[in-house]
Amino acid sequence: MVTGSATLVEAAGRRVLVDFGAFQGGRDLERLNEKPEQMDVATLDAVLLTHGHLDHCGRLPLLAKAGYKGHVLATPATIEMAGLILRDSAKIQESETARRNRRRRRAGLSEEEPAFTTEDAEAILKCFRPVPYNEAVEVTDGHRAVFVEAGHMLGSTSIDLAVSEGGETRHLIFSGDIGPGSLPILKDSRCFTQADLVVLESTYGDRDHRSMGETLEEFEEILHEAIEAKGRILVPAFAVGRTQQIIYHLVELFLSGRVEPFPVYVDSPMASRANRIYMRHPELFDEESHKVYKALEDNPSLRRFFHETESVEESMALNKQGGPCLIVASSGMCHAGRIVHHLRHGLWRKETHVIIVGYQARGTLGRRLVDGEPHVRMFGERIAVKAKIHTLGGFSAHAGRSALLEWLACCAHSGPKVVLNHGEDGPRAALAEAIRERFGLETAMPQMGETLELS
């Protein structure tokens, strides 16, 4: 599946974990958010983290809770992002458990514990060690790793884990999540030329996104429509990544005069904190974004259209805000967070536009909207979907099928075994077929908990 990324490597007498993400999208999946039994923390030597998204780092506090004292290696920007996301996640766990326990007490039931606490999150954050991009670092005996740009979110990486045993070295490549190469702000992904094993993500293994140019045209059209009808535009976006990208495109469109400026609200305290992390890492920006940010800085009359809302009261006040306006709020899959309230107020109005920019897992409200359901249930209420739902796949932070194949092409000549993860079965199978056709390589599509041997 797309969430819950985790791979345990056992080689040269050592055990190294690559990512330990949370499952997201519906209660059944979220029940999997625990430490699997076979994950013996006492014998775990090191953890490598590709990037700070929750579906890659979300279970790390469980390791600290189980007594893990080793290192978690990640780039400096990933460490900051993971800190933001894990602290937030711990707070949500604590408050949701408290809410459930109030009910359980009233029902005469015993109290539950949160999966992990702020203390566990802080404990694992103390284990983080920064690694530079593009330099080999020592992981544990016989294991060295090189982290390179993945172009997917700030700090994101693909990792080459080189394992040496008996004078032989094997290169195990972990793609992490790979960006499409056309994302603003971020630099493009880099690939590896030598591989014995490649664990490749397959989120969009069955399709190509529309080009960034076409996507921007569509985005611009939606903005014009909303301006005309004085409609509100709701963008469900995870606080980290898409939010900064949407703001970037808006700044660009406003600056160029293609779209008349209107109020834009980032309704997420976490997104505001993520923005500040972005601004602390200009070294990771591409050249174009330096220009755009500079232009915004020099233009106070444009800056006043961009607002960040902190408090719940400010967020609620947005319901009275007339159109045109654009509100970006999390969660990206519409299953929690402030966006849910904006959708409740907006979905039944035909002048509302909802722009879906990220992956929508099965079982989430976002997926139901994308699937075109005429009614949805929210807060026990049946709500008609009259709003226009747009899916802008071209804004995705994930490479489409062709870009995944291009990335793999760098090392395909060295004949690696390919393992597909981070994808539903349909896209995985489609990507496996394309890999067989183009490179003649066999791919494995393991289920969770399955062990593969590299001889």
Contacts with Zn ion by CB under 5 A lie at 53, 55, 177
The alpha-helical segments, DSSP class H, found in 107-151 are 118-125
Q: Which two structure tokens, joined as six digits, stand for 122?
A: 């802080």
- Residue 185 or 376 having the CB closest to Zn ion: 185
Short-list 149, 165, 159, 195, CA closest to 7: 159
Residue 5 or 215 with smaller CB distance to Zn ion: 5
Which residues on adjacent β-strands are paired with residue 377?
Answer: 382
User: Do 253 and 193 contact (CB within 8 A), yes or no?
Assistant: no
Q: ∠ CA 191-197-201 to the nearest 5 degrees? A: 60
Find out whether 178 and 152 touch, Cβ atoms under 8 Å: yes
CB 243 to Zn ion: min, Å = 14
| Residue 18, φ and ψ in degrees, nearest 5 | -110, 110
| Nearest distance from C-beta of residue 446 to Zn ion, angstroms | 17
For Zn ion, the closer of residues 78 and 352 by Cβ is 78
Q: How far is the CB of 201 from Zn ion (least distance, A)?
A: 7
Cβ distance to Zn ion smaller for residue 5 or 117: 5
- Taking the complex as a whole, the smallest distance from the CB of residue 88 to Zn ion amounts, in Å, to 16
Q: Residue 63 Cβ, how far from Zn ion at the closest point, in Å?
A: 19
* Residue that the structure tokens 């983080």 belong to: 128
Select 174 or 285, whichever has its Cβ closest to Zn ion. 174
Nearest to 342 by CA among 362, 371, 369: 369
Minimum distance, C-beta of residue 53 to Zn ion, in the bound complex (Å): 4
Distance CA 10, CA 8 (A): 7
Nearer to Zn ion among residue 53 and residue 232 (C-beta): 53
Q: What is the length of the chain?
A: 455
Could you give the CA distance from residue 346 to residue 340 in angstroms, rounded to a whole number? 10
